[in-house]
Amino acid sequence: MTVRREDNIAWLEGVCRVEEAEVLAGHLGAGAGVVDLSRCQGLHAAVVQVLLAWRPQLRGAPDEAFLRDHLLPALAGDAHMTTSALVGDKEAAPSAPGSERIEGVRI
């Protein structure tokens, strides 16, 4: 068992496999608002997508490098609910005419 719940905190511990996505979704659906990842060693994609769907508050700094350096920052990323920005919503593009953006400066 690598998903357990205490009050409103769901603890993900060790390597969380595909089956645990359902358990986690159950906890989040039943009111757990915080997910603690400090002892997590890995997350299956199904678990990741549950976190992305419910967007609970994530806490804890796991040791595992990919999780810590890439997955958590991506999960914490803003406004990733839909793919509109990704597929190139022209209106969302930040280069409005007349506003010259300095993207890089060579020194």
Closer to other proteins by Cβ: residue 20 or 36: 20
Q: Does 31 bind other proteins (CB under 8 A)?
A: no
From residue 91, alpha-carbon distances to 31, 87, 99 in Å are: 36, 12, 14
Contact between 72 and 64 under an 8 Å Cβ cutoff? The reply is: no
Q: Structure tokens of 101?
A: 């953006």
In the region spanning residues 39 to 78, those forming contacts with other proteins, defined by CB under 8 A, are 42-50, 52-54, 66, 69-71, 73-75, 77
What is the Cα–Cα distance from 32 to 57, expressed in whole angstroms? 10
Please pick, from the candidates 3, 10, 25, 40, the single residue that binds other proteins as defined by CB under 8 A: 25
Q: Judge whether 29 and 6 are in contact, CB under 8 Å.
A: no
Q: Applying CB under 8 A, which of residues 4, 6, 18, 38 lies at the interface with other proteins?
A: 18
Which residues contribute to the site for other proteins (CB under 8 A)? 17-19, 21-22, 24-25, 28-29, 42-50, 52-54, 66, 69-71, 73-75, 77, 80-83, 85-88, 90, 93-95, 100-107
